[in-house]
Amino acid sequence: MVSSTVTVGVRDRDDVVRGRERTLWSSHYGPMLNFPLFGWSEEWGFTFREANTGNGHFLSQFVGMNTAAGLDEFRAVFERENGIPWVNTVAADSSGRVWYIDASRTPALSDEGERGFRHKIEEEPLTRLLYQNKVAVLDGSNPAYEWEDRPGAPAPGLVPFGELPQLSRHDWVVNANESHWLANPEQPLTNRSVSRDSILGAQRIGTECFG
């Protein structure tokens, strides 16, 4: 962990602004947390990692979507910018083509990391409780839970465009907000792990635990 000192000007009751200092701590995952349930002890410490940190493509993503002349150009924006923070997208053009994608910025875990996390959801009450509240807790002391760097990813540690769940058809697709696998029941997205989606796709907040 590393520390940094932050000074903020605070106006006192005597109407004088004085500097107040606080020491903040962070790990290579992100800032350390210190509040109820996520406090520090001699055994545990929690740090926070967000998949959208440094996402500078948000604006260009939506400008490109709004100016695309057809579905091919629309899809190319996603491949080029990869800046969607959290939402599913459904699109259609005048030729009758339709396209679904969950392009949310998503952490990339190894197969070993996914298996370990599923096991912890089943065996550890705290991990299960937080997961039910859209927070994924991973063991930051275990290298198996490091986010993988994959070619073509919008940022280190994220799932690249080519691995995101998406479906192109000439009839219809639907977004139901949870698992993507039945965007159209005639063509289930079985090439993408449903467990991966439920573990990572719905969990935009990542919390690492040192123990």
Q: Which residue has the higher pLDDT, 170 or 176?
A: 170
The pLDDT value recorded for residue 202 is 35
Q: Integer distance in angstroms from the first to the last C-alpha of the chain? A: 14
Report whether pLDDT(72) > 90: yes
Q: What is the 3-state secondary structure (H, E, C) of 3-38?
A: EEEEEEEEECCCCCEEEEEEEEEECCCCEEECCCCC
Give the Cβ contact number of residue 188 at 10 Å: 14
The pLDDT value recorded for residue 172 is 96
Confidence of residue 24 (pLDDT cuts 50, 70, 90): very high
Could you give the C-alpha distances from 208 to 147, 154, 185, in angstroms and in order?
Answer: 11, 21, 36
Report whether pLDDT(199) > 70: no
The 10s digit of each residue's pLDDT in 117-133 is 999 999 999 889 988 88
Query: Which domains does the chain show, CATH number per domain?
Result: 43-210 (3.60.20.10)
The pLDDT value recorded for residue 208 is 56
**What is the DSSP secondary-structure string of 165-188?**
-EEEESS-----SS--TTSSTTS-
